[in-house]
Chain A
Amino acid sequence: MIPVTSVKTLPEAYALLQARPPGLRVLAGGTDLMVAINARVGLDRIGHVLDIWNVRELRGIALQDNFLRIGALTTYTEIIHSTLVNTQLPALAAVSREVGAWAIQNRGTLGGNVCNASPAGDTLPLLLAADARFLLGGPRGERTVVAEEFFLAYRKTALGADELLLRVDFPLPDAARLAYRKVGTRRAQSISKTLIAVRATPGLREVRIAAGCVAPIPLRCRRAEQAAMSGGDVRAALQLDISPINDIRSTIEYRRLVSANVLLQLLKNMGTPYSLPGRP
């Protein structure tokens, strides 16, 4: 039996975080955590669960100071139905539609995807390409970490043991557009084999590229960006950025070639007005 503390406010949560019972784990939607518990993966390390599902201040989507601000507990369903997201950051709504299926979208949160920090987390390359910032908070106060500095190593993040992710902020530059393509194992309920996200200005003067499932962390691809902006060999540059592995979903060879193919198509389409990428 694992003790669970359900809280409704941040101060309550912070009190427990300060007390730091051994093996404390945060529970948001539980769609990653419960799977781990069911598979008895790392169970011995879970000593106490802090359930933050009912902390209302961590929910919601707002536009402020040219940032789209999304609370950590906001679910995929909320993102999918948000007019703000659909107008300001339609790619985030689109990728949310591709996460799991309805049940997972109703329960899974953006913050959970970030903190779980799987290299296959579908929103993460988008957050990197969009230059998102994470607001972290805890008994010691609040701080902001840019997405790129948050993912440190395989499933290791900059989140302190006594910190929560509170919010994700997306800068909204006027000219740049965000697009992505997920390549999964089937058309729904699928973990990605590769996912490429690109934010670029017309004419590719400013380009940010990120990739999922092709490195131990969700990866910003700086060499590919440079190549794209300087008219260089994007395919070759991307190969230097990424380091995919063979696993039960796919192969190194496939991930390398398809990541490059997809990236080239995305860059090609960046010149044309943005439209919702349909399912592959």
Chain B
Amino acid sequence: MFDKPPTMKHADNSKSTVGHSPPRKDGPDKVTGRARYLDDLAFPGQLWGRTVRSQVPHGRIRSIEFDPRFDWSGIVRVTAADIPGDNIVQLIEDDQPMLAHDMVKHREEPIALLACADRERLEEALLHVDVKIDPLPPVLDLLLSTHVFKSYRIEAGDIKPAFADSSLRVVEGIYRVGHQEQMYIEPNAICAVPREDFGVTIYGSMQCPFYIHRGLQRLLKINDSQIAVIQVVTGGGFGGKEDYPTVLAGHAALLARKAGKPVKMIYKREEDVAATTKRHPAVLRYRTAVKPDGEFVACEIDVVMDGGAYVTLSPVVASRGVLHASGAYRWPHARIDCRVVQTHTPPNGAFRGFGVPQTLFGCEAHVEKIALELGLDPLLVRRKNALVVGDVMPTGQRLTESVSALPVLEAVAARSGYAAKREAAMEAARLPAGSARARKRRGIGLSLALHGAGFTGSGEAHLKSRAGLELTASGARVLSASTDIGQGTITVFSQLAAEALGVPLSMIEVAVNDTSRVPDSGPTVASRTTMVVGGTIARAAEAMARVLQGYVAQTHAVPAGEVCCVGGIFAARGRSLAPFESIARRYLDERGPLVCIEQYELPPGVQWDDAAYRGSAYPCYAWAATAVELEVDLDTYEIKLLDLVTASEFGKAIHPVLAEGQIEGGTVQALGYALLEEHIYVDGRLLNTRMQNYIIPTALDVPPMTTLILENPYSRGPHGAKGLGELPMDGPAPAVAAAVLSAIGKLIPDLPISPERVMKALHAA
């Protein structure tokens, strides 16, 4: 049944190579406070920048007035009229202005910018800009929107006969999920420094330096050599710093150009939460035809996502969402539709999972519903339909290797004690209603998830990512534009390079992420950094190793095929020849710089047809199962998490401790999505913009967690690695819904599963 037996891997700190867990390279600076974030950096003569926003969700700007009685000396003012180039935020479509000049389409839309050396005066000045807007009726409900940004359909087989077949059971359900805020610890932060060549240097907290690098050339009408974008130590991103920093960098750069001085803009928490991108809300309709024994025959899925006011990344979020909407299961017949629509709210964007947590919640909650209506154990239903090697996905993609839906499911079922706990929950549900034991109900539930690694469809083919390394006198320096935003990029890249070169980790450094100096390895998104960029760096390191082996063979008169480097020492035939550094120095002296850059190539056979929406949407998938045990308080309807077990298979854990960190952190973020996090909008205005009232989990809200890592190497990933970063975000919410169902007998179809929703479910007639 399995293509390869999965093995358990445990962390080991003793070695630095791949598969072991050396201390993270950025760790000491971060824990001792030496790491310097943007706010810590001083720029001589720097001003502070602030944004004047619409305050109206939809309307036409009539005038922008700067109070003539206010003292504007020393305050730089920018409006759309000051933009030298294209007034757009460059991404997929050119629909979003950097500064609104005519229409406003959401309440936080930027209209004017101010900069001043004195922050108090700057705050004062903000109150003296009067923007007059003629309001228009806003569309705030995604189901009422008629403006479709993008729609997709995936079709396989023919669903009609299945739904007409009276021997099959038809199960229907509607599921709803809301916004989610990334809540990175460091808000968006950028400093723009004007240059003598009329260009600009950008420093900031970001995931994708080259987005800014390209976007600002159009905005400022400058060329490639007039801009450099430098990522500084970044306090988290989770997708929230994928595209938004382009907006902030554009604003800071416009102010800096006009002021002739550096301008720093750091959002306050309230501003960051209100104005920047969030996870797309969605309404998901599932209609399925299944055999009475639980075998899936057909699904008809309709997903509507709320894109917010502008297109931004919505087409790709919806695309990844729709491609995961049928879950980790075999569906002989499928029709899956998805459309992402406009509403007059701030644009939604990237957030860890990128459309999948939404559709996977719908899919997995619906699997629970199927089991409920058929009177089957949901574990058996999942087991019966889980994808295995050889299966074909609705896009026509045949799975050929590294498929672990069943192994992760079985690992979690066994470790969590699922069968016995589910039996106990069913037993408790049979207790008489008034009995004292019944004030709290326990339940256990699980979910199964998959997550495509790397860019969707033809994305990686278009990107042609480049990365590599250069030889230094003390080892080698990794060159890439992939950012470390806390997830461990620097450490993992160093491990991969060290392994290929045969040197200790300490001999590898990672270049400052500066677009004027590093190759474009693509954005740091889509769980692609280790698999795609890491793999490219490993190949570049192998190329460098070959060059140096050849060089050593020449200088030491030994056959090239017999030279190798182990632990930083070149050797041949069991005899040590020279340390890596001395060879590196000699090489640099004699032959000059050695820079090895490789370009990512999609594995052969991975093909995608964008028009037909068929083919291999992803070269491979990572797999996870999650089991949650919880207790529902029947007095307060609060849910207390008792235990959580996850099993994840993402090929190979290059650094098991960092991998566990990703799994635990992502799981906690997903538990917030499941139970706590909800944005409350009134007339397009977000009410809970602070950490005080946007409720994310605290340490006390997190249950004991068991994190199992299974390995099932992917032949085209570095050392077998696939993507991991987003996977943990997908499964916990439906597992919680399943556990609540097991505890109280009600499937709550909307997130978050708040006490208020539990109360309603229990007291519904």
Residues in A lying within 8 Å of B, measured CB to CB: 101, 181, 183, 185-191, 248-251, 253-254, 257-258, 261-262, 265, 279-280
Contacts and interface: CB of A to CB of B under 8 A. Distances in A.
B698 A258 contact: no
Given A189-B698, A254-B756, A249 B636 contact: no
B700 A261 contact: no
B676 A185 contact: yes
26 contacts: A185-B695, A186-B676, A186-B697, A187-B698, A187-B700, A188-B698, A188-B700, A188-B701, A189-B698, A248-B687, A248-B688, A253-B756, A253-B759, A254-B637, A258-B636, A258-B637, A258-B759, A261-B634, A261-B635, A261-B636, A262-B636, A265-B439, A265-B635, A279-B700, A280-B636, A280-B640
Contacts of A262: 635-636
B755 A254 contact: yes
B91 interface: no
Contacts of B640: 280
A250 B755 CA distance: 9
Interface in B626-643: 633-638, 640
A128 B568 CA distance: 73
Contacts of A190: 695
Nearest to B682: A248
B372 to A, nearest CB: 26
A253 B680 CA distance: 17
A279 B638 CA distance: 11
Given A250-B756, A254-B755, A191 B635 contact: no
Contacts of A250: 756
A254 B759 contact: yes
A191 B692 contact: yes
Contacts of A249: 693
Interface string B652-692: 00000000000000000000000010001000000110001
Nearest to A189: B698
B352 to A, nearest CB: 21
A95 B641 CA distance: 22
Contact of A251 (B634, B636, B756): B756
A186 B695 contact: yes
Interface in B373-390: none
Contacts of B699: 188
A248 B686 CA distance: 10
The 8 A-B residue pairs with the shortest CB-CB distance in the complex, in nearest-first order: A187-B700, A261-B635, A188-B698, A188-B700, A254-B756, A185-B695, A183-B636, A187-B701
Contacts of B693: 191, 248-249
A189 B635 CA distance: 21
Interface residues of B, number: 25
Contacts of A257: 759, 763
A188 B701 CA distance: 8
Interface string B697-718: 1111100000000000000000
Given A183-B755, A248-B688, 20 more contacts: A101-B698, A181-B636, A185-B695, A186-B698, A187-B700, A187-B701, A188-B698, A188-B699, A188-B700, A189-B698, A190-B695, A249-B693, A253-B760, A254-B759, A258-B635, A258-B759, A265-B439, A279-B700, A280-B636, A280-B638
Contacts of B636: 181, 183, 258, 261-262, 280
A183 B759 CA distance: 14
A101 B439 CA distance: 28
Contacts of A189: 698
Interface in B586-640: 633-638, 640
Contacts of A265: 439, 635
A37 B638 CA distance: 33
Nearest to B763: A257
A261 B701 CA distance: 23
Contacts of B759: 253-254, 257-258
Contacts of A183: 636, 638, 755
A280 B688 contact: no
Contacts of B755: 183, 254, 258
Nearest to A193: B755
Contacts of B634: 261
B744 to A, nearest CB: 15
Contacts of B688: 248
Nearest to A264: B635
A280 B633 contact: yes
Contacts of B635: 258, 261-262, 265
A249 B756 CA distance: 10
A186 B637 CA distance: 12
Contacts of B698: 101, 186-189
A99 to B, nearest CB: 14
Nearest to A1: B120
Nearest to B760: A253
B591 to A, nearest CB: 58
Contacts of A187: 698, 700-701
A239 to B, nearest CB: 15
Contacts of B701: 186-188
A258 B698 CA distance: 23
Contacts of A279: 700
A279 B699 CA distance: 14
A36 B699 CA distance: 26
A188 B695 CA distance: 10
Nearest to A40: B123
Contacts of A251: 756
Nearest to A249: B693
Contacts of B676: 185-186
Contacts of A181: 636
Contacts of B637: 254, 258
Contacts of A248: 680, 687-688, 693
A31 B36 CA distance: 28
A187 B640 CA distance: 9
B138 to A, nearest CB: 21
A186 B698 CA distance: 8
Contacts of B692: 191
Contacts of B763: 257
A189 B680 CA distance: 19
A101 B700 CA distance: 11
A265 B637 CA distance: 14
Most chain A CB inside 10 Å of its own CB: which residue of B633, B635, B695, B760: B635
A191 B693 CA distance: 8
B272 to A, nearest CB: 15
B185 to A, nearest CB: 15
A1 B463 CA distance: 53
A278 to B, nearest CB: 11
Contacts of A258: 635-637, 755, 759
